[in-house]
Amino acid sequence: QFPTGSSSTNPFL
C-alpha cells in the first residue's frame, strides 16, 4: 500500500 505520507508535509492530505 502506498504510504499515505504525513499531512504535515503534504499540502494535499
Residues that bind other proteins (CB under 8 A): 2-6, 8-13
Let me know the angle formed at the C-alpha of 6 by 13 and 9, rounded to the nearest 5 degrees: 80
Hunting for cell 502506498 — which residue is that?
A: 2
CA 10/CA 6 separation, integer angstroms:
6
Taking the complex as a whole, the smallest distance from the CB of residue 3 to other proteins amounts, in Å, to 7
Taking the complex as a whole, the smallest distance from the CB of residue 1 to other proteins amounts, in Å, to 9
Taking the complex as a whole, the smallest distance from the CB of residue 11 to other proteins amounts, in Å, to 3
